Amino acid sequence: MISIRLKDGSQREYPEGISLLQVAEDISPKLAKNAMAAVFNGKISDLNSQVKEDGCLELLDFEDERAREVYRHSSAHVMAQAVKRLWPESKLAIGPAIDKGFYYDFDSGHTFTPEDFATIEEEMKRIIKADYPIVRKELSREEALQFFSERSEDYKLELIEDLPEDAVISTYQQGEFVDLCAGPHLPSTGRLKAIKVMSLAGAYWRGSEKNPMLQRVYATSFPKKSMLDDYLQKLEEAKKRDHRRLGRELGLFVVLDEGPGFPFFLPKGMVLRNELENFWREEHRKAGYQEIRTPIILSRELWERSGHWDHYKDNMYFTTIDEGDYAIKPMNCPGGLLVYKQNLHSYKELPLRMGEMGLVHRHEMSGVLHGLMRVRAFTQDDAHIFMLPEQIIDEIKGVMDLVDRFYSLFGFPYHVELSTKPEKAMGSDEIWEAATNALIKALEERGMEYKVNEGDGAFYGPKIDFHLQDSLDRTWQCGTIQLDFQMPEKFDLTYVGEDGGKHRPVMIHRVIYGSIERFIGILTEHFGGAFPLWLAPVQVRVLPITQRSQDYARQVVTELEQAGIRVEADFRSEKIGYKIREGQLQKIPYLLVLGDREAEEGTVSVRHRKEGDLGAKLLEEFKQTIVKEIKDKVL
């Protein structure tokens, strides 16, 4: 008998060789039905796996990201099987799960078109209905090479040959279809429910333009049709909210052919941007930050000293000044370090928090540029905190509190991920371990759940990333906290300790918006261009109905302007219905309709962007109401 401990701490005895699925069925038939994979003794496994030792078991359903990956990767195999049935000469490349879906790359004599989607879906449904068991088999290298050689699967052969000599090579079979795969997978194809083929793209094999161009078929899958319908509806909504279209229509920003990747902010976009920056400055002043500004162009020697030259030069822009080599900064950190060095610091001054709205430039490939979301020039709301080692935990928690204040204001839920030492990194394992443990301790003391991304840290230190979730359930990585023991060493930063000697400070790099430009793009789509009143470029538009009411309209505009409200008037000789519709299309929070009666009574007829006609109100009453709404930054 073997002993299995469950996540709730309970323990059960089973005969050796029982499958994880049978264990799940013994615990609860409903649990077994919803389970898609399992974690046994820390390793994610197929539910069909047999248990041969004591261990701890966690069953994963679709709510868990790891289970979603298993579900979508199994879906990719079903799609590949469908394609092989329909176009047998197609060769298989790879088919991973991705965020909200999956894809498979094919080398096929058939050119896929959107007209094929329904055909592929129907064949996938037949495979799902057949409920083939998905069976794992381990092969020797020779067996694997022979198996895929007989099937002329050249891409699979290349993958096998690149595996380490001691690698475990496994295949998964469902019906007649067999694929090279590490797994894990669902127990059978019948576990899949709602599927949808979405789009097509070209993709070079292994991402190199020297290799053949393959056809990539994108799709998605969910365990319920209602979940698929909700996802598709949100995709349609996302198209309507595309920040590039709204940016032009609302007069916020544009990206022009004359500056690919270099956005232009228009007058109304600058109002929005300035409000975000003003709020940033106000909150950072309260939190004890001092603002600095550092140059955009600095010498090559500085970037060599910081390590960016070795680790980042392919993404940098360069210039020559007075026969010397200079670089346009891709990051603000080295400038912040030079500012710290301008004075002798005492331990009594620390922590020293310095913030900067720093414009940086990074070379991105033209194919990945996307509106404000992926640009070549952007402003980071950087801050660098210099502290004593014993202040690390409190400072990290202080940044977490500030991040929470910002994201809560905009109505963004968020989750946290911890990234550890990458393969290409500066510094010893001991320093990295100390830095990583400090971040973990801060997260645990604040009671924050987090996911670990092994090997995904910055080259100079581990980091905590904040992923916010917008109104369309998409996630965006914005805020980050990076703990750095390396840069203070490289730049010989010191402070005078209590003992009168020189000591090395510890450094935190952090951003909250991440990139102002990208954050504006996210906000534009999150709110669909209907920004909260405090952010709206135009907060009130005054609409006089007649020539006689225009003088009163000017008086209303003046009073509102004096109260600090962003207001404009529409004096065109158009019908009032047309003016109202245009104001609504411009997503202006408040429209004030003024006729002869309003002029006589000193009132305004108020239309709210969401609530519609609110009736007549005294001008003073309306003014006080929205001044408070702006001050309180109401969502």
State the CB neighbour count (10 A cutoff) for residue 482. Answer: 23
Tokens of 633: 């930054």
- Buried (b) or exposed (e) across 228-237, using 16+ Cβ within 10 A? beebeeeeee
CA nearest neighbour of 227 among 104, 100, 96, 37: 100
DSSP for 470-513 reads -TTS-EEEEEEEEEESHHHHHTT--EE-TTSSEEPPEEEEEESS
Dist CA 586 CA 250 (whole Å): 6
- Under 8 Å CB-to-CB from 480, ≥6 apart: which residues? 463, 464, 465, 466, 509, 510, 511, 514
Dist CA 96 CA 103 (whole Å): 6
Dist CA 542 CA 604 (whole Å): 9
The dihedral over CA atoms of 396, 401, 406, 410, expressed in degrees to the nearest 10, equals 130
User: Can you point out the beta strands (E) in 223-296?
Assistant: 253-254, 264-265, 289-291
Q: 332 phi and psi, to 5 degrees?
A: -90, -15
CA nearest neighbour of 132 among 189, 88, 177: 189
State the CB neighbour count (10 A cutoff) for residue 528. Answer: 17
Dist CA 338 CA 343 (whole Å): 10
CA nearest neighbour of 54 among 120, 110, 6: 6
Secondary structure element (H or E) that encloses residue 29, with its range: helix 29-34
DSSP state of 94: -
Is-contact 561 282, C-beta < 8 A?
Answer: no
Which amino acids are annotated catalytic?
333, 362, 380, 382, 384, 463, 509
Residue by residue, what is the 3-state secondary structure of 427-443?
CCHHHHHHHHHHHHHHH
Alpha carbons within 13 A on the beta-carbon side of 14: 25
Dist CA 593 CA 571 (whole Å): 12
Is-contact 453 434, C-beta < 8 A?
Answer: no
- Under 8 Å CB-to-CB from 618, ≥6 apart: which residues? 602, 603, 604
Dist CA 518 CA 480 (whole Å): 14
State the CB neighbour count (10 A cutoff) for residue 166. Answer: 6
Dist CA 110 CA 389 (whole Å): 62
Q: 221 phi and psi, to 5 degrees?
A: -155, 150
CA nearest neighbour of 224 among 471, 33, 372: 33
CA nearest neighbour of 599 among 536, 553, 632, 539: 553
Dist CA 376 CA 330 (whole Å): 9
Report the residue count for the chain. 635
